[in-house]
Amino acid sequence: MRLVSQLLFLTFTLLAFNAGHILPGAAKEENREHKVWARAGSSVVLPCHLSPRKMWKLPEKTSVLWKRHGGSAQQEPLVVLEVGYSGLRKTALPMRPRVSVQDSALLSGNFSLRIDPVRSEDAGLYEALVAYNTLIQSCQVELGVITVTLSPPSPVIENEPLLLSCNSSHQASLVEMCWFHNGHLVPTSRTFCSLHGALSILRPAMSDAGSWRCQLRYSDNEIISTTYHLQILGFDGPTNPVVYAAAGSAAHLPCALSYLPSAFGVNAVSGHWSRLAGEHLQDWSISQNSSSRSFPLHLPRVEPGDAGQYRCSVSVGSKTISRDVTLAVVTVTPSIQGLVSEGSRLLLVCSLTHPRGHERFQWKQLNSALAKSKLSVATSHNLEGHRPRMGPTLEIPHVSQRDMGTWECSVYGPEGRLGAVEYELQVTGARVSSPPTTFSGQVTFGLMLTLFLLLTVCVLALALQKRARSPAFPGLEGMFAVTVPRKKEMEENQKEKIQQTEC
Ligand SMILES: *[C@@H]1O[C@H](CO)[C@@H](O)[C@H](O)[C@H]1NC(C)=O
Ligand SMILES: *[C@@H]1O[C@H](CO)[C@@H](O)[C@H](O)[C@H]1NC(C)=O
Ligand SMILES: *[C@@H]1O[C@H](CO)[C@@H](O)[C@H](O)[C@H]1NC(C)=O
């Protein structure tokens, strides 16, 4: 009894995890009954190996008949499949496309029956009758079916309440049902082992996808389990994605399903984007075929007014799933619009339309116009310009020629660089003329005026001196101009000298 149950467990384990393989050593167990468990929807092989040494040298003289003894006792055994002496096959109508034996395997005494896919109503006792001339041998295999039921049925949608339940064709009364996710018993806080053990997942998330094992324990100590691979249809990427785009540039809003809808057998798929902009609803429809799971929205040019929440809705068969995507636009606001004069104080403020509060900003001069035109001057000053500066506001206290060019503001989040925006700084006075020229011109004019005035003074002084020295009668001069005028003349002479030195 112990051996039998161990054997059954082994059979079950092999079949549950890798349906389609035969129990080794079955050839020695001819005419003995086996029990095989299979999950509805998977495939199963009912083993029947008869030793070739007994006969079967000439397969055309062999016939095989697989019958199922009805689940309910009153029914006649149902012919599942018959391979006659001539190789003719007959199959029972309800199972016709799902059952097969391998012709090549018959030669080696392998009369196993393959059922793909198994249905819950296939459960029952199967018998193979193998006839060679008058010699008849038989195999008996009991097929037990475990059914995993999803409510609502597949495809399972992210965040949509889900009930997973499990039953089997075993006749005894169920004592306990347990669920294991990826090999671990589901935490008791979330569920469980219980009598009416349906597993309820209120908000299925992508993390709930994967293998789920249902283990059933019956009053006769029979333990049956099966594994179900749960796929959840949702979206790729984070739950509330934010897309960062520079004002004036293009934006791509992503919307990709976690699986190809065709993986769920659904071919009718359509994508749709909408946005409530103030009072009116904008919408875009994205046409894709079922071999695509991506429905991105491309906006060729975004401005701060385009920022906000966009909704991507994808219809998969009769179900529609939606995801909100936020578009955040990065802008630069300069304190001076347009051309900036050299020497002025300029503030460039980098901002986000939808800040989440943890963003960091970084300013960097990408290329200096001066560095381009005067390569020889590209020394430490320009390197300084390329060094990034932190914070949303970039202050240039005295705009100079070397500040001219492209400035980039990058936005960083905990996850890395989110986006960037560029600003073209145009500085006037690039030809070393206009405003500085008027200034130096004024200076020159003032200097010239001063010089001219000084010159005039000199000329006047000289003229005065000449007039004082030119009396018509030198003798007369010699007579009474002995003292005072002489002294005066000397004084005048000295004055002239001083003036000349001054000039
Ligand atoms: C016996 O035949 C079945 C299909 O009918 C096949 O799946 C199985 O692998 C075969 N077993 C061996 C041992 O060849
Ligand atoms: C298990 O449940 C499924 C779905 O409810 C049902 O179709 C099937 O007949 C049940 N199987 C048994 C053995 O009760
Ligand atoms: C589906 O679209 C992809 C590209 O979007 C294309 O390569 C493929 O041929 C299309 N398939 C069908 C069946 O239209």
DSSP string, 383-419: HHHHS-EESSEEEESS--GGG-EEEEEEEEETTEEEE
Q: Are 130 and 153 in contact (CB under 8 A)?
A: no
Q: Are 40 and 140 members of one domain?
A: yes
The pLDDT of residue 5 is above 60: no
Whether the CB of 188 sits within 6 Å of ligand 3: no
Confidence of residue 324 (pLDDT cuts 50, 70, 90): very high
pLDDT at 479 over 90: no
**Mutational test site, ligand 3, from 257, 269, 292, max ligand atoms within 8 Å of CB:** 292
Residue 31 shares a structural domain with residue 128: yes
- Ligand nearest to the backbone CA of 289: 3
pLDDT at 42 over 90: yes
Please identify, among 301, 323, 345, the residue that sits at the C-terminal boundary of a domain. Answer: 323
Ligand 3 atom with least separation from CA of 289: 1
Give the angle 116-120-125 at the CA atoms, nearest 5°: 85
Structure-token pair, residue 155: 């495809």
Q: What is the pLDDT of residue 177?
A: 86
pLDDT at 87: 67
287 lies in which domain range?
243-323
Instruction: Tell me: pLDDT of 417 over 80.
Output: yes
**Cα(20) to centroid of ligand 1, in Å?**
8
More confident position, 319 or 492: 319
> At residue 444, does pLDDT exceed 70?
no
Q: Is the CB of 147 under 6 A from ligand 2?
A: yes
pLDDT average, residue stretch 317-344: 90
**Rounded average pLDDT over 251-278:** 85
Inside any domain, residue 328: no
Q: What is the number of the ligand closest to the CA of 39?
A: 2
Check which CATH number belongs to the domain holding 386 and give it: 2.60.40.10
- Which tokens hold the place of 110? 């392998």
The larger pLDDT score, comparing residue 305 to residue 25, is at 305
308 and 417 inside one domain: no
Cβ 36 under 6 angstroms from ligand 1: no
pLDDT tens digits, one per residue of 129-140? 988 777 888 999
Helix (H, G, I), strand (E, B), or coil: what is residue 238? Answer: coil
Average pLDDT on 33-39 reads 89
Residues 96 and 130 in one domain: yes
Closest C-alpha to ligand 1, atom 3 = 112
Asked, for residue 433, whether it belongs to a domain, the answer is: no
Q: Examine the pLDDT at 445 and tell me if it is beyond 80.
A: no
Evaluate: CB of 44 within 6 angstroms of ligand 1: no
Q: Give the residue, by CA position, lying nearest to ligand 3 atom 9.
A: 291
27-31, 295-299, 311-315: least confident range: 27-31
Q: Tell me the best of 291, 293, 295 to mutate to test the pocket of ligand 3, counting ligand atoms within 8 Å of each CB and taking the most.
A: 291
Instruction: Choose the residue to mutate in 22, 56, 104 for probing ligand 1, maximizing ligand atoms within 8 Å of C-beta.
Output: 22
Q: Is the CB of 149 under 6 A from ligand 2?
A: yes
Domain co-membership, 26 together with 137: yes
Atom of ligand 3 nearest to the CA of 290: 1
pLDDT value of position 219: 93
Of ligand 2's atoms, which has the minimum distance to the CA of residue 147?
A: 1
Is 112 near ligand 1, meaning CB less than 6 Å away? yes
Picking from 33, 59, 41, 43, the residue whose alpha carbon sits closest to that of residue 111 is 59
Report yes or no on 445 lying in a domain: no
Instruction: Indicate if the pLDDT at residue 388 is higher than 60.
Output: yes
Q: What is the DSSP letter of 17?
A: H
- Is residue 292 within 6 Å of ligand 3 at its C-beta? yes
Looking at the CA of 147, name the nearest ligand: 2
> Are 73 and 46 members of one domain?
yes
Same domain, 277 and 398: no
**How many CA atoms lie less than 13 Å away from 62 in the CB half-sphere?**
22
Q: Strand (E) positions, 300-456? A: 308-316, 319-334, 340-341, 346-352, 360-368, 389-390, 393-396, 405-413, 416-425, 427-428
289 CB within 6 A, ligand 3: yes
Q: Is the dihedral of CA 436, 437, 438, 440 positive or negative?
A: positive
Is residue 238 in a domain?
no
Domain boundary among 323, 352, 371: 323
Those residues whose C-beta lies under 8 Å from the C-beta of residue 42, and which sit 6 or more positions away, are 19, 116, 117, 118
Compute the average pLDDT of residues 190-209: 73
Q: What's the whole-number average pLDDT of the chain?
A: 76
pLDDT above 60: residue 78: yes
Q: Is ligand 2 within 6 A of the CB of residue 167?
A: yes
**113 CA to centre of ligand 3 in angstroms:** 39
Residue that terminates a domain, selected from 283, 303, 323: 323
Lowest-confidence pick of 35-44, 58-67, 407-416, 441-450 = 441-450
- Same domain, yes or no: 137 and 10: yes
Residue 372 maps to a domain: yes
Other beta carbons within 10 Å of 217: 18
Q: Residue 25 Cα, ligand 1 centroid: separation in angstroms?
A: 13
Q: What residue's CA is closest to ligand 2, atom 5?
A: 149
41 shares a domain with 58:
yes
Instruction: Check whether residue 20 and residue 117 sit in a common domain.
Output: yes
Same domain, 16 and 140: yes
Task: Report whether 30 contacts 49 (CB < 8 A).
Answer: yes
102 CB within 6 A, ligand 2: no
Looking at residue 16, its pLDDT comes to: 36
Most confident of the ranges 74-88, 102-116, 374-388, 402-416: 402-416
> How many beta carbons lie within 10 A of that of residue 35, not counting itself?
20
Q: Which residue has the higher pLDDT, 260 or 471?
A: 260
Residue 487 lies in a domain: yes
pLDDT at 172 over 80: yes
Nearest ligand to residue 108 Cα: 1
Q: Which of 269, 415, 244 is nearest to 328 (CA)?
A: 244
Ligand 2 mean position, distance from CA 169 (Å): 8
Q: Which bound ligand lies closest to the C-alpha atom of 288?
A: 3
pLDDT of 380 reads: 42
Q: In this model, does residue 144 exceed pLDDT 90? A: yes
Among 155-159, 213-217, 263-267, 439-443, whose mean pLDDT is lowest?
Answer: 439-443
**pLDDT (tens digit per residue) in 97-143:** 899 888 777 777 889 999 999 999 999 999 999 887 778 889 999 99
| CA 289–ligand 3 middle distance (angstroms) | 6
- The 8-class DSSP code of residue 289 comes to -
Question: Total structural domains in the chain?
Answer: 5
pLDDT digits (tens, 9 = 90+) for 345-384: 999 999 999 888 889 999 999 876 555 555 444 444 444 5
pLDDT of residue 309: 93
- Ligand at minimal distance from the CA of 291 is 3
* Whether residue 48 has its Cβ less than 6 Å from ligand 1: no
The answer to whether 246 and 275 are in contact (CB under 8 A) is no
Give percent of the chain with pLDDT exceeding 90: 32
Residue 329 falls within a domain, yes or no?
A: no
> pTM surpassing 0.85?
no
Q: Does 444 reside within a domain?
A: no
User: Are 183 and 60 within one domain?
Assistant: no
| CA-atom Rg of the chain in angstroms | 49
